[in-house]
Chains A and B, each alone.
Chain A
């Protein structure tokens, strides 16, 4: 009964109070915070990982970091952005070895291929995620960071320890690879 009452109370807390509660190690506040952001962060994690289990491991490590480091959040920028950054960096670190192996790959077969934007837009996000997860890890990282997260190539270079030129070329290759995968599933420009 008491727990339900506490939950209800915590649900009504605004974000600042929630953060303060987490700083004080209040489990109820931590739970509310987790329930608020976990689904969205799971979506982020899934994009960088190859399976749901892997994504959950990343999410678990990321939330442990969030709760451990929450007192360092200075309120600069959005709190969601801060958590998202932790999730992305945790995912990259967990996939460290694989992410860093950038295979040169051949571009010959995909240069002429294009795609139908409408067909992709009509796709279920879950299906699109499956296709994205099929990308090699290095490509997946660069593609996610640039196309979805919106980092610049210079920033990606700093994050992954590569030059911005390498990031640019990796992105170009990853995009071609993705188009090739889309073509495999029948999404192709007529």
Chain B
């Protein structure tokens, strides 16, 4: 173990060129949507922080929004889905480019879901933990945010859009809903360290 630690120390040294990979400190995870990434201070989703995704309904492309970013993350790290509202459908996940071997689906009762997500984020062995919760408990979110900081993982919490008006400790808050014409809108409600962009983004929808 000691050898591994010293190797990591060496790699952290700025003078070591790590084969084309950018230095990974607190960089963001680009979402693939250029305009959206540019508007965020991290250039994407923030690592070691909680991103809250408020959704007006299921099936608005809320997971597809993260899919390219997570697919890239899963080249090297494992992610977990905690208490998803439906069955994560393997053929669609494969189509989205997710290696199934690096994905775990954790089935937990709704009241346990925040606790499970907290454990997953704090453990630090996972790239990201995505949790679906309906509760409006702000303390649970704060615990998730702290756990994501401790573990240095990406935390994503999906909650109903009705919580948009309540304050949240998440570093990044997104709202996904549809306008009157049925077109999907993605709005940034809060992004820590910067003014949230006032315009809405139109996420590209492949499927």
Tell me whether A and B are bound partners.
no
Binding site for B on A (CB under 8 A): none
Binding site for A on B (CB under 8 A): none
